Structure 1
Amino acid sequence: MLTFDLEEFDIPEEYGQKVSETEQMQVTLRGMENVLSVLDAHHIRATFFTTGHFAAENPALIRHLAQKHEIASHALLHSPAHVFRESDIMESRRILEAVSGQTVNGFRMPRLKPFDRAALGRDGFRYDSSLNPTWLPGRYNLLGENPLPSRTDGLIELPCSTTPWLRFPLFWLSFKNLPLRIYAALCGFTLKKRGNLMLYFHPWEFADLSAYTLPAYVKNVDGDKLTAKLDGLVSTLKKRNAAFVTCNAFCDKWEREFAGQE
């Protein structure tokens, strides 16, 4: 499962740099061009966890994505200044379904922050992908969580992938900062041992970020170089016979083949 958090480029706010909403949208859109160039070249489908606000501001893009890819919810707004409310979940879903024409089955919380997952079940979602079952100082301490797909609170939980040993996270920062050969090897090992792989990135990473005051580990590599790296990752995984599916399609397979083994 290749997944992308399709959101406003608001990460500079975490480091004290203000970026206008127009510019936030434009950076993400530039990155999307590069992401789609890779997905189209390899004829693979992905899941885009999209904020309701981004979808409302860019409906043509969402309609285009929905012709081939899955649209899922990334709540209403991604800004760290926004105070999350439970009503954001349904408002986001309403916007996404109206714009995309798809039924929205999945949800991912911005920044993978804790929230009441039971609310998703009450609202009729099928799956959640807001769990990074690893340990990162100051961010996550979730080594006690199940790293495998499971059913929780009436939902299918699709955790972001970590390696079977040491729970090393295979999230976007690992992809950016590890050499491709090492990252791809960890992905291949995890896929072989666990039978599935859930990777997540952000379209804005694939734009040129040189103008922004961000830590090197956040913005290097970016733009065309990171796009080439994504292409290399996909090519390597295809050589390992990886089958790329959307999150919802994986849930179909998991319910058929694995649910009885819980």
Structure 2
Amino acid sequence: MQAVTLTFDLEEFDIPEEYGQTVPDSEQMEVTRRGTEALLALLAAYNIKATFFTTGHYARVNPDLLKAVARDHEIASHALYHSPRHIFEMDDVRQSREILEELTGQPVTGFRMPRLQPFDRGKLRAYGFQYDASVNPTYLPGRYNLLHENPQPHVQDGLIELPSSTTPLLRLPLFWLSFKNLPPALFRYWAVRTLQRRKVLMLYFHPWEFTDIQAYPLPGYVKRVDGEALLARLEKLIQTLQRQGASFMTCQEYIRTNMV
């Protein structure tokens, strides 16, 4: 079986802070809300279930949206805050899960670290999490070099690791920046080839990408394609993968059917 997991980091729209800009908290929340609502409509149209890695802060400020997402999709933890203004502590992970589980009434078993930074995996395991999705096993200049990491789903340190997909050759990353900056046909080709070779495709995006962010002075590679154009690109990718016979599933479903 060829499995595809679509994952979305449901977080505050704080990326302008990385470039020295300030966006009011309420505006950060609203940008993400608009993108999330657009994604939910698209996923519903194709009857696809996805995994939303959600910050505790975004969830408690937007409980109605979180509950709407949780009706059809998996909710996993994306720590407590995403903004670089907040210093990360491992206890943030525990707090975020408590918030998410209280709001959804569902167990939260997965985690993705904001900006995929290193963290204490031992504590994550001690908190009772089943899996981690914080590894992008590629080389990104200035951010990380993870070419030594296993690119396939595997068990490590008592946790199931679900790495983001990279191409079988050269380890080219198939993540959100590639999705919006590569020619769409080329991305789809690599996605299909990776799925055929590895039998699994794990992609990640951000809901705020799927709304209009052209007014923000962000680098072109961040906002070159957004909103409806990016939604159309995602829809085309979904159609292509469905023609390949791929099964779309949440991270929990993938683990249950392939690793347990």
- The aligned residue for residue 220 of structure 1 is 224
Distance 1:27 1:151 in 2: 36
- C-alpha distance after superposition, 1:8-63 (max 9, x if no partner): 00000000110000000000011112211210110100000000000001111111
Matches within 5 A, 1:111-122: 111-122=115-126
Asked if residue 2 in structure 1 is aligned to residue 13 in structure 2, the reply is no
Residue type at the aligned position of 2:178 = S
Asked if residue 15 in structure 1 is aligned to residue 19 in structure 2, the reply is yes
Distance 1:4 1:193 in 2: 24
- The aligned residue for residue 203 of structure 1 is 207
- The aligned residue for residue 132 of structure 1 is 136
Q: CA deviation at 1:159?
A: 0.2
8 Å Cα contact 2:53-2:78 kept in structure 1? yes
Q: CA deviation at 1:91?
A: 0.1
8 Å Cα contact 2:97-2:108 kept in structure 1? yes
- The aligned residue for residue 89 of structure 1 is 93
Distance 1:38 1:68 in 2: 13
Distance 2:169 2:132 in 1: 24
Distance 1:122 1:248 in 2: 19
- Among 242, 248, 252, which residue is 2:246 paired with? 242
Q: CA deviation at 1:245?
A: 0.3
- Among 162, 165, 168, which residue is 1:164 paired with? 168
Distance 1:72 1:32 in 2: 15
Distance 1:178 1:101 in 2: 39
The unaligned stretches of length 5 or more in structure 1 are 257-262
- C-alpha distance after superposition, 1:225-259 (max 9, x if no partner): 11111111111111111100000110112224xxx
Distance 2:227 2:200 in 1: 28
Distance 1:52 1:62 in 2: 10
- The aligned residue for residue 84 of structure 2 is 80
Distance 1:170 1:208 in 2: 22
8 Å Cα contact 1:126-1:155 kept in structure 2? yes
Identity of aligned residues (%): 60
- C-alpha distance after superposition, 1:184-211 (max 9, x if no partner): 1101100110010100000000110111
8 Å Cα contact 1:177-1:220 kept in structure 2? yes
- The aligned residue for residue 24 of structure 1 is 28
Q: How many equivalent pairs are there?
A: 256
Residue type at the aligned position of 2:22 = K
Distance 2:197 2:126 in 1: 33
Distance 1:245 1:50 in 2: 18
Q: How does the TM-score come out when normalised to structure 1?
A: 0.96
Residue type at the aligned position of 1:104 = V
Distance 1:180 1:38 in 2: 18
8 Å Cα contact 1:66-1:101 kept in structure 2? no
Q: How does the TM-score come out when normalised to structure 2?
A: 0.97
Q: CA deviation at 1:134?
A: 0.3
The unaligned stretches of length 5 or more in structure 2 are none
Distance 2:48 2:72 in 1: 9
8 Å Cα contact 1:52-1:76 kept in structure 2? yes
Q: CA deviation at 1:170?
A: 0.2
Asked if residue 98 in structure 1 is aligned to residue 102 in structure 2, the reply is yes
Asked if residue 183 in structure 1 is aligned to residue 187 in structure 2, the reply is yes
Residue type at the aligned position of 1:185 = Y
